[in-house]
Chain A
Amino acid sequence: MKISRNDYPLQLEGETIPMVRFQNVTKRYGDLVVLDSLDLDVDEGEMVTIIGPSGSGKTTVLRMLMALERIDEGVIYVEGQPMTHMARNGTMIRADNKYLRRQRLNIGMCFQHFNLFPHMTALENCIEAPVQVLGLSKDEAVARAEGLLDMVGMLEKAHEHPSRLSGGQQQRVAIARSLAMRPKVMLFDEVTSALDPEVIGEVTQVIRKLVAKHNLTMLMVTHQMGFAREISDRVCFFYDGKIEEQGAPDELFENPTRERTQQFLSAVLEAR
């Protein structure tokens, strides 16, 4: 698919370039439109939370940004450079796999079901890509991984396989594994949804720490409204593949202006 350069710049220019920009992004599964001409900017260091009913396209936003699937229309930019496309002879063409691999280095992702590699210990999970992809020496990678495992409180379990860890522990290792690649943007895709209620806190605590201490740009999809409100700079309410409403968390949770936001919030707050 070719996109004329008039519509999408080959790279973003100007004083303030957003860390992430979704420009007119559409994703369809057959006839079903999951993302509908989405425009979304995320600034450097910003923590943006995406909430919304299931099927509203929340998770798809993260999967498109990680380029796990192709978008059908539009362009996603990371640090002003196109992520889903690349410039070739002055026009934009779809990114090839090599280009995607390089661009993905900017982005880390944590999944609902952790997806740790079961045949590797916690430490091996964290050094695998730094050694194999970034080309770090084993010693460097281990030092980096141990620092991160310590940060997430999993250093004592560094030599355990995932099958021996609880869900909360696995998710903390998964966060360390993503951070070991030193991404600029971190994506959290319902990272507490598969956890038992009593271990959710240990994972949210790690995310709090990241927000407080690191200048990471973060995009989080969650069902935990309290956590979203407490930690986000901005909350986006998704409905039908579009941003129905967005704003500062207190504003959005206290005074939602759109009817669907009101309905959704009263429904989820009712359920608690």
Chain B
Amino acid sequence: MSYIEFLTSYGPQLLEGSVTTAKQTILAATLAVMIALVAGLMRLSKNRFVYGTATVYIEIFRGTSLLVQLYWIFFVLPLFGLTLEKFTAGFIAVGMNLGAYGAELVRGGILSVPRGQWEAATALSMPPGKRMRRIIFPQAFLNMLPPWGNLLIELLKGTALVALISVADLMFMARKINGTTYLSAQVFGSALIIYYLMSRGLVTPYMRWLERVMARKLGKIK
């Protein structure tokens, strides 16, 4: 069977899986960004309870395997009365895991803003919320974009694990086709290429574009 024939017969299934992977990625990324913002800001709090809560969260999700977390959310939580649909469990696990990494990026980005900026805002009597939102965060955001680009690629690739709880993503479809045809080279070769195209062809250019837009907004490039 030629590769062209393979693609004509199994392409649609791979495409369907890719769409699910894209959906998982977008939902998990949205969740990861939200968690990262909240946990990252909490890590900067002087309140020990607030700081401690975020630290425990980050330690648990960074210190244990994503696959184990996925199984916990899908197989163990129902034992405590919280049952999630597999698609939901998939992106929640990936989002919560990568959000823990993102929290450290948010914290680092905020700490990278020079102290003089905080002091200037303080000297102008800006209250802490406005100081963060209007002065510190816009500058921190630009600083943290490049590492976020890496993290989102990690996240995209991390979504492959949701196949293991039977979410019909790209990896799930590839395994299914492989199980019936044994065309391993073609199937997993195609999967490899599709993941590469999604990360390098979609995520990276998008992040570059965002960096340029933000840099222009911050007056860095004219």
Contact = CB atoms under 8 A, between A and B. Distances in A.
B59 interface: no
B4 interface: no
Interface in B72-130: 114, 116-117, 119-128, 130
8 contacts: A68-B123, A104-B123, A104-B125, A111-B120, A115-B116, A115-B117, A162-B219, A164-B219
Contacts of B126: 129, 132-133
Interface string A107-145: 111010101111111000000110011000000000000
B222 A164 contact: yes
A119 B123 contact: no
A178 B130 CA distance: 18
Given A128-B134, A132-B134, A104 B122 contact: yes
Interface string B175-216: 000000000000000000000000000000000000000000
Interface of A: 66, 68, 97, 101-102, 104-105, 107-109, 111, 113, 115-121, 128-129, 132-133, 161-164, 177-178, 181
A245 B30 CA distance: 62
Given A132-B130, A164-B222, A117 B122 contact: no
A196 B117 CA distance: 22
Nearest to A163: B219
A66 B120 CA distance: 10
Q: Is the interface of B mostly helix, strand, loop or mixed?
A: helix
Given A111-B116, A128-B134, A132-B130, A119 B125 contact: no
Interface of B: 114, 116-117, 119-128, 130, 134-135, 138-139, 142, 217-220, 222
A102 B117 CA distance: 20
Contacts of B135: 117, 128
Nearest to A67: B122
Nearest to B130: A132
B124 to A, nearest CB: 4
Contacts of B120: 111, 115-117
Nearest to B117: A115
B34 to A, nearest CB: 23
Contacts of B119: 68, 111, 115
B125 A105 contact: yes
Contacts of A108: 123
